[in-house]
Amino acid sequence: MSVNRAGEARLVQAVHGRHERPADPGYQTGLVEELRQSYGRAGLIDLYGRFATGDGVVDTLMRKAIWQAIARSCGAGLQVAGGAGFKHPETFEIGNGVFIGAQAYIQGRFDGTCVIGDNVWIGPMAYFDARDLVIEDCVGWGPGAKVLGSTHTALPVDVPIIRTDLEIKPVRIGAWADIGTNATILPGVSIGKGAIVGAGAVVVSDVEPFSVVAGVPAKFIRWRTEADPVLDISHGGRS
């Protein structure tokens, strides 16, 4: 007799990063080089618009190839979902096995640095102010989560804030960290290795490795242990 488990919590094996991805086909390497030589940076950005949103094989392949052609460096196994966008992708250094979700947006800066490590998973509608950003290996980035890397000084007070100088502060996300759905990481913050940021949290100060923080502003909740229960505060439905 079958057992109806509807409505019960359950554990299933995660997929991303657990299995070795096959190498990109050889023709893709040739395509990337041809695109780089034929179009240049500005031409590639224009070309990306033609393939930015489709779900078919050609659109998916072209998004991947254009990201690889235009980034400062890019590893194998990149996946870019429809509607994902960028600014100043020439400042990006992307590792192996990275997934970028639908409608995610990564805004680099012409003199900035955006480093994304191996096997990073970026959820749909995420936003990166990636002027001085490092995300280390195996980070999970929840849907809608954001990182801000700069603020206006708001000085002097007799001019509109948007016209005041921009202060850029580095943001570092340690390996294995997990950023919850719709969380926001503010400029200058470092998230320690293996830390968990709860859904909707606003992180205004550094987070210790292997700790759990949540709330607005985010506060320390506890340390992670081997006896952790299933954490509902961090995961946003990704696999």
Question: Distance of CA 63 to CAs 30, 60, 69, Å?
Answer: 15, 5, 10
**What pTM does this model have?**
0.87
| Alpha-carbon 177 to chain mean position | 12
| CA atoms of 117 and 53, how far apart (whole Å) | 25
Q: For residue range 57-116, what is the model confidence (pLDDT) as tens digits? A: 999 999 999 999 999 999 999 999 999 999 999 999 999 999 999 999 999 999 999 999
For residues 146-167, give the mean pLDDT.
95
Out of 16, 19, 88, 152, the active site residue is 152
User: Which among 21, 125, 131 has a CA at the least distance from the CA of 81?
Assistant: 125
Question: Distance of CA 12 to CAs 199, 233, 237, 239, Å?
Answer: 21, 17, 12, 9
Query: In the 8-state DSSP scheme, what is residue 137?
Result: T
> For this structure, is 152 an active site residue?
yes
For residues 114-134, give the mean pLDDT.
97
User: Which among 57, 133, 123, 60 has a CA at the least distance from the CA of 93?
Assistant: 133
| CA atoms of 207 and 195, how far apart (whole Å) | 7
| Alpha-carbon 196 to chain mean position | 15
